[in-house]
Structure 1
């Protein structure tokens, strides 16, 4: 056992700085090696949903209550180009250890699609969750959403702009709380190549911006930014927080100085949870909002 622990420690040291850049899947493997999945179970894998062959996984605590658990739908990042639900298993396991039934959906990506396909896929994932999560022990009346980077964009748009859920026959009030980790919310005019490519389908670019849909009756939102994020600048969270606050909507902004864009996601994993209290802070927020 001691030898195994030493080997694991060496692996952590060797890839500590490259776990995320090598691919989130590498981080999920490392997370599993370090016990990140202890106390959780993937109870559904590769479940088809929606109208374009999308798939999702469902994770939950392996012990405790069997029914009535709060639900979190988590969308991964990747600039609307990369990412997969299996690669981000570390994030699903993290929130499952906190007592949540976690739905991790895939979505269509650039260049196969453009705006608003990924939002439509997101809305279909919410619809599936509403209709089926009870079978996995989740409470369909307590659904929150969370995501990182491009996934946080989906979170903000589904939370603030009701047209996407309404188009699927879902009451937008189904979302009880939202957590956006390093998400783009106010990025027009577009300057980044990925944003330009992803938003090509928009007749009116302003209508792609979450900040445009800020409203007083929005559910509680937690917006997380990173002090050293060079990919999604902190003004996105700053501006949306200011807009929501001015309208009287419940919002909290937390910035983690010294963290990069990737660090915020890595901090959800077991090996790198010491980077910042991202998991603890977001779980505390969700628990209060879902009470």
Structure 2
């Protein structure tokens, strides 16, 4: 690569990183412009239900990528947005980061408030995860290596599917089918709630205690990887990630935690993006290690 081209890419990545650090929403879309498009195969706009937002995208490794087909983990990822905003296309950088290193990745949309309230977005998430479980083998993944993952309110969705058997049970599946769950800055214990968007999404104050993921931890819960920014000002990392890890361990569930001092609530997920992965702590390697993929990124550089 010519040095001048490298400098242009580096400058663009710096600008994207700066913009991402300044806002909690729209700069996520800027990452799409810099995310490689030749490191994976994609199938987009697949319906997992009849509602317009019940669609998902699939990111698959290229044929020569290790591990071989049939032995790849499948990760169903739910994005955040306080259950009121978000679209799957904005998180192509998550699909690329994981698919380029050997995972099959499913990124669904789900219905949002104020159009719906709890538990509809959890029910949509369960239906999307059931789709992933049913199609794992066809997509070249190992059906015994299916994981659910989410960031922020998407981390809540992931936690509810992994911990509260009602939701997968309603669609003919079970948390026992999961090899683990991954939460990035997820809210797991947030009653009473003060955020207006969250209040609308959960019909506050008529919100049942059973809506809290931490209430469903048991010895049967899948193993977990919990990650958070230590200075997160949107989702308290001590009350949520810290207490969830403590409760899981108390019930004998294997849990790994990762805390990052130099990342925010937003850059925690942004740091997965190939172009700006260097902005913060090593968020991607623990995820790869957790799902059984090589976590050495020394030979994978931003383009």
- Looking at structure 1, the residues matched to 14 and 110 of structure 2 have their Cα atoms a distance apart, in angstroms, of 33
Q: Which residue, out of 248, 255, 276, partners 2:281?
A: 276
Deviation at 1:272, TM superposition (A): 2.1
Q: What's the RMSD between the two structures over aligned residues?
A: 1.8
In structure 1, stretches of 5+ residues that fail to align are none
Deviation at 1:191, TM superposition (A): 1.5
Matched, 1:45 2:71: no
2:79 counterpart residue number: 76
Matched, 1:238 2:242: yes
- Looking at structure 1, the residues matched to 271 and 49 of structure 2 have their Cα atoms a distance apart, in angstroms, of 31
- Looking at structure 1, the residues matched to 146 and 15 of structure 2 have their Cα atoms a distance apart, in angstroms, of 38
- Looking at structure 2, the residues matched to 12 and 93 of structure 1 have their Cα atoms a distance apart, in angstroms, of 16
Deviation at 1:192, TM superposition (A): 1.5
Q: How many residues align?
A: 283
Q: SS at the partner of 1:134?
A: coil
Matched, 1:28 2:32: yes
- Looking at structure 2, the residues matched to 115 and 220 of structure 1 have their Cα atoms a distance apart, in angstroms, of 25
Within-5 A mapping of 1:209-224: 209-224=212-227
Q: Which moved more, 1:204-213 or 1:62-71?
A: 62-71
Within-5 A mapping of 1:123-272: 123-200=126-203, 204-234=207-237, 235-272=239-276
- Looking at structure 2, the residues matched to 104 and 190 of structure 1 have their Cα atoms a distance apart, in angstroms, of 27
- Looking at structure 2, the residues matched to 68 and 202 of structure 1 have their Cα atoms a distance apart, in angstroms, of 46
In structure 2, stretches of 5+ residues that fail to align are 294-303
2:20 counterpart residue number: 19
Q: Deviations over 1:195-235 (max 9, x none)?
A: 21111188552111001001111111011110121111112
- Looking at structure 1, the residues matched to 196 and 107 of structure 2 have their Cα atoms a distance apart, in angstroms, of 26
Runs of 4 or more, structure 1, over 6 Å off, are none
- Looking at structure 1, the residues matched to 16 and 135 of structure 2 have their Cα atoms a distance apart, in angstroms, of 38
Deviation at 1:174, TM superposition (A): 1.2
1:8 counterpart residue number: 9
